[in-house]
Structure 1
Amino acid sequence: MSLPLFIYDLETLLAGGTPELPESGEVRLSGPEGRHAVSVKRIAQGERILLSDGYGSLATVLVTGTSGKDALSGQVEEITRTQISPTVTVFQALPKAERSELAVDLLTQGGADEIVAFEAERCVAKWVGSKRDKGLTKWRQAAIAAAKQSRRATVPQVTGPMNTAQVAAALTTFDLALILHEEAADPIRAALSTADVGKAARIAVIIGPEGGLSAQEVAVLQEAGATAIKLGPEVLRTATAGLAALAVIGSATARW
């Protein structure tokens, strides 16, 4: 069984920053992650754990002692770094509240490298005012929890929200952009087979809301270089469509 994984400096990661994981020597894990390790997982002296900075660095740590119920200390034995190619950014339309965190959880399990909250025209949910920060925090927490469960060295960056025009402008930095659209003629495998996926370093996947993207939104995104595709004859929910798309992309590239 793989070693239990914990996030080093969780507060910094939740704030969108990059934790500075020590490459050698002594390391200390405290706060919520330390409490989870000591009080929930019952990690004790002599055991080994994994510490992640959320950006691809993963340290194997020998636990040398615990302090109270919420902290442990250890010695870094080895550190590895994960480099992923191609990277996949998912522009996820805001689902309804009960499916919002599920979408992020599934995208993280599927291997998304960045998740951008997308305020499409037909989104019922809106991140207005204080809801923006609350929404980002909840999505980041969901991404971190799913990454730990999946033993991922990287936690997807969670940013946004963006509107359709902002998403279209962002597409200029990608080598391949796909719009999941139920009215598209070509299936995703056809689009991937005709595109030079092997040379794509950055891939974007755009997922609309339950009501779908409007014709105008699709036109704007296509003008920016995106290709409209469908996953198959069935129409998946916005919270689950991303995972299906990531599985196909993963099998068509060197990711899997």
Structure 2
Amino acid sequence: MYRFFVEPSQVEDHTIRILGSDVNHIKNVLRMKTGEEILISSGDDLEYACYIEELGDKEVLAHVMYVQEAGYELSSRIYLFQGLPKGDKMELIIQKAVELGVHEVIPVATRRAVVKLDGKKEENKIRRWQAIAESAAKQSKRMYVPEVRHVMRFSEAVEHAKELDVVLLPYELAKDMKETKKIIDQIEPGQSIGIFIGPEGGFDEEEVRMAADMGARAITLGKRILRTETAGLTVLSVLMFALEE
């Protein structure tokens, strides 16, 4: 059954108004008809089971049959601070991070990042990345679309992460796997978690010190060196397994 996302203001009693690009997708791409059933989320943990009541040119009206608490989301909000990678790697990272339960993706301009985005290029990238996040959220039955934020400088990202309960920084010079397992085991459901991932060249030593001063815990991901597009997904997979209820 297809899933769509709406704003809370589009939910009116037993009717939900679907607007924007989803109207064209429902009518002309999926070629759905009145009476067909769909699932709708308005950004909370409620899932609306509906059938299509009316297909208009600018909106689709869906009639709510029943509402249920889906429970698809992790108990903890996980924030991925991803150092800007080369090429299209960010698209894969966002897609898989959303599937694994990330709450927000924050692109970070680090000292060793090769990619530099100017204003217009950044706006286009963010739109593209947000569309990928929405598509992945629909596919993986997420209850809302994780936000892809605008690019932050490393200092801004560290300041943003100060509000989180736990901040993890996978670092190639970290060696103690027992300590890493202990850190992961101590994370409690409901705590907010930040993950800092460096670009292809890794973190600058000053960036590591800056994160450590803020309270980030350096962890190891094993004896093998992982690519930037692999490291964050590895941590997310471990956290998903540890926190899934």
Task: Please report the TM-score for the alignment, with normalisation by the length of structure 2.
Answer: 0.89
What do residues 231-256 of structure 1 show as CA deviations (whole Å, max 9, x unaligned)? 22222221222221111112222x34
Does 2:31 align with 1:39? Answer: no
Partner of 1:220: 210
Mark the runs of 5 or more structure 1 residues left unpaired by the alignment: 9-17
**Cα drift, residue 22 of structure 1:** 0.4
Change (3 A) 1:245 1:22: same
Partner of 1:125: 115
Does 2:48 align with 1:59? Answer: yes
What do residues 140-185 of structure 1 show as CA deviations (whole Å, max 9, x unaligned)? 1111011011111121122131112112212221111000212212
Query: For 1:186 and 1:44, how far apart are their aligned partners in 2?
Result: 58
Query: For 1:79 and 1:20, how far apart are their aligned partners in 2?
Result: 16
Partner of 1:12: none
SS at match of 1:43: coil
Query: For 1:169 and 1:217, how far apart are their aligned partners in 2?
Result: 12
Change (3 A) 1:248 1:49: same
Partner of 2:240: 250
Q: How does 1:92-107 map to 2 (within 5 A)?
A: 92-107=82-97
Q: How does 1:1-256 map to 2 (within 5 A)?
A: 3-8=1-6, 20-22=9-11, 24-67=13-56, 71-80=59-68, 84-187=74-177, 188-193=180-185, 196-198=186-188, 201-253=191-243, 255-256=244-245
Any conservation in 2 of the 1:24–1:77 contact (CA below 8 Å)?
A: no
Partner of 1:13: none
**Cα drift, residue 85 of structure 1:** 2.1
Query: For 2:129 and 2:238, how far apart are their aligned partners in 1?
Result: 24
Change (3 A) 1:125 1:50: same
Any conservation in 2 of the 1:136–1:159 contact (CA below 8 Å)?
A: yes
Q: Alignment identity in percent?
A: 30
Change (3 A) 1:170 1:44: same
Aligned residues: 241
